[in-house]
Chains A and B, each alone.
Chain A
């Protein structure tokens, strides 16, 4: 097994996780439970495909993907912040909605239940990773950029305050709602970018193509203890395990199903505190009465 191939394949698998997990971190640090990463990702993938298809331009596809993620992110934000809907239920609803809407418009636009026509992508050569793919770089930079945002900017300070002790933030005149709206919108955009990468990498949109990646991102957020860089590390870890499994396919050291389980098992262990407690932001999930 070629180490270079191992690294490139791992990165390729990791990019969607990196985008989505970074989005998940910022929204949850602000106190909003985000189970909708899967839905954002799927929407981003589909919107990008539609945009790229009808305009013939990859960048327009990218923009459409961002827009799709933004809309769904704002939907989650309005439901949970303005209407105080249960954040878990809303997250699940958005995932279901994304599946339904993408399927419906897939049929409507492309008359197919399974996939869209082929679209162009960023990578010139589809078999190689393509370090000329700007989305790859954006994905790798997402976590450090988020880390900078959260730990080194005034907005990031407010996010951290709002997610731990919103009353304290209110008492100094900060609009908790505004901070949260921005954070959730950001999470929608970032996770959608993960989907955009997927769609452009595979050069088409296929039904439910995200296949649970959004939930692996959730696992990475928790396993990384709501820290952008740690979550990114978790993403790389999970991606590496997948790559390992693919490369060792014939050798069957561990069945593929067990490799699949790794992110989820690790997350449960983290929550149970066997290796140090994963403590969420104190105000996570508490917009309701």
Chain B
């Protein structure tokens, strides 16, 4: 009986595990091609990330942004849509947060300033997410291409805004925000001194929790998942499929936009060109490996952040670029194993008879 749900669990967990094993093997090969010992390098990677406070802080920092973009992408996928635009949405959100923050003075209490800036971030990302949503609903334009194109457009637009209007001399970033800064961890945990980790991770955790509640406990989430799984049945169940599509893409954009606060409010206190740094695309990997589940996304975000930070730690031994190769390998491996695992597991499955 519970074996039925076990199969669902298997279908969910096998691909990331398989991908991890494949990545380990590839990692071994790459490390050995550099004449190093895999065991040494892996141990060094772990020590440099989870083994010391600064490294761990960096892992947490990077994982925070990835958690936001991963949650954003996974929400879209749950609705049957592919949001490839998290990169642009993240940047737009960060910019909006900085924009709001710049117009506040330090006299504004943090209780008002921080939520205001956060709302700005969400709205900024949400607007960018609403565009593909609208185009899909109104014209049937496939959101994959629209979001990819929009990435370039948004990033170019932001670049133009920064370069021509709001930047500090000799840099590509805005001035520091007046209010709305989110405290860093090292403000009250001195062990994390120097790391960018900040309380935005709490926001990320809350967002993940809220995401879970929304998806699995709310009526709208029920309808959204239905649309993603079987749109004809959802329609039969009285759900407006188009409405779900629009809401899902907008919400997805908003969550990705919210991710901008990590850098802007929590770390540098200004918006800088290039803040996204690939986190939008990696968000796709995080969603995929995390099997589109908020908890899985958090774990996957930590995994990819560990890889990323670990690359820096082992740089003396193996070029950190190895990490980027492994990232690509993991994504490919998960993508290839998901349908395969499903096929193999369903082959032997017979329905339970009375």
Give A residues with C-beta under 8 Å from B.
33, 35, 75, 79, 83-86, 88-90, 92-94, 96-101, 103-104, 106-108, 113, 212, 215, 218-219, 222, 255, 257-258, 260-261, 264-265, 267-268, 271-273, 280, 288-289
Contact = CB atoms under 8 A, between A and B. Distances in A.
A271 B146 contact: yes
A257 B160 contact: yes
Interface string B316-327: 000101111111
Given A84-B339, A104-B324, 16 more contacts: A83-B336, A85-B332, A85-B336, A86-B335, A90-B336, A92-B281, A97-B328, A103-B319, A107-B319, A257-B159, A258-B156, A261-B156, A264-B150, A268-B153, A271-B142, A272-B135
Contacts of B159: 257
A201 B159 CA distance: 28
B222 interface: no
Contacts of A218: 145, 148
B321 A103 contact: yes
A85 B337 CA distance: 7
Nearest to A78: B336
Interface residues on B, range: 35 or more
Given A83-B339, A255-B164, A88 B84 contact: yes
Contacts of B44: none
Contacts of B156: 257-258, 260-261
Contacts of A75: 332
A93 B329 CA distance: 8
A264 B84 CA distance: 14
Interface in B76-101: 82, 84
Nearest to A82: B336
Contact of A257 (B157, B332, B336): B157
B288 interface: yes
A45 B303 CA distance: 31
A88 B324 contact: no
Given A92-B284, A257-B160, A268-B146, A99 B141 contact: no
B136 to A, nearest CB: 10
Interface in B25-65: 30, 33-34
B10 interface: no
Contacts of B209: none
A100 B331 CA distance: 13
A264 B132 CA distance: 13
Contact of A100 (B149, B152, B288, B324): B324
13 contacts: A83-B339, A89-B331, A90-B336, A92-B281, A93-B285, A96-B285, A96-B328, A104-B30, A104-B324, A257-B159, A268-B145, A271-B145, A289-B342
Contacts of A255: 160, 164
Contact of A222 (B82, B145, B335): B145
B338 interface: yes
Contacts of B235: none
A94 B157 contact: no
